Amino acid sequence: MSDEVNQEVDLMYGLKTVLSQIEAAVARRSKDLPQVAPRLVAVSKLKPASMIVEAYEGGQRHFGENYVNELADKASDTIILEKCKEIKWHFIGHLQTNKINKLLGSPGLFMVETVDSEKLADNLNKHWLKFRKDEERLKIMVQVNTSAEEAKNGIEPSQSTKLVEHILKSCLNLEFVGLMTIGQYDYDMSKGPNPDFLTLVKCRQEVCENLKLDINQVELSMGMSTDFEHAIELGATTVRVGSNIFGARPLKLKTN
Ligand SMILES: *Cc1c(COP(=O)(O)O)cnc(C)c1O
């Protein structure tokens, strides 16, 4: 019991702290960047539904998960369905073809941030027809592997225009929203701006120039607990923050 109470207090404190840090980072952001108010995605993976309800009741609406089964279970949880009617789920993990229907059928699914191939885009485009309401398109981001690490998902930066063009031309049930990166872990910020974030910013520049898109309309999802403020200063419009809000996760599980 006392444990639960403590958790509650920590969570609201964490959420408020992150929100005020976001605001402060926005004030430091270069005026040359699109002046979009960043969206906080609270990453709730491996955390119980009760904490999601708590954060929701504290005003948080966007939540991120990176395992399809976990997102589907939480999205269909009776308490969440009853108490979190406006919840917006972001899928931020690697999506396997055989899990697409399960993901797309999840109530409150708002965005898939990890589209990294034409094949995946085509599959989402095709299957979304069965699930969409009111002709609404499925919001997606293209995941870019900015750190050129083989273990990371995402397309190479040089391929991003091609994939975005494919989505715009051939995937009419999808709405291209922006670019997302995970980037290398524990980058030492004393070395200067995180090169992954700079690469994603440059990628957006190129995609917008090549495809004549308005840069103010193309989002950047980058930054996690350790570096979301830095990411906002460099132009992030979506930050994905987990442990600073919900507390540390069990170590044995990978985040990707
Ligand atoms: C887990 C995860 C996060 C959040 O990580 P924290 O360090 O807990 O803030 C953000 N993005 C992705 C893709 C993740 O898997």
pLDDT per residue of the chain (256 residues) written in tens, 0 to 9: 444 444 444 899 999 999 999 999 999 998 888 888 899 999 999 999 999 999 999 999 999 999 999 999 999 999 999 999 999 999 999 999 999 999 999 999 999 999 999 999 999 999 999 999 888 999 999 999 998 887 778 999 999 999 999 999 999 999 999 999 998 888 898 999 999 999 999 999 999 999 999 999 999 999 999 999 999 999 999 999 999 999 988 765 555 4
Compute, in angstroms, the gap from residue 155 CA to the centroid of ligand 1: 19
Please indicate whether residue 152, judged by its CB atom, sits closer than 6 Å to ligand 1. no
Judging by beta carbons within 10 Å of its beta carbon (0-12, 13-18, 19+), is residue 191 exposed, middle or buried?
A: exposed
**Torsion angle of the four alpha carbons 77, 106, 7, 227, in this order, in degrees rounded to the nearest 10:** 180
Reference 168, options 142, 188, 186, 136; nearest CA is 142
Residue of the CA atom closest to atom 2 of ligand 1: 255
Ligand 1 atom at minimum distance from 224 CA:
9
pTM, 2 dp: 0.94
182 Cβ closer than 6 Å to some ligand 1 atom: yes
Pocket of ligand 1 contains residue 240 by CB under 6 Å: yes
Calculate how far, in angstroms, residue 212's C-alpha sits from the geometric centre of ligand 1: 31
Tokens at residue 239, please?
Answer: 């930050």
CA separation for the pair 18, 245 (Å, rounded): 7
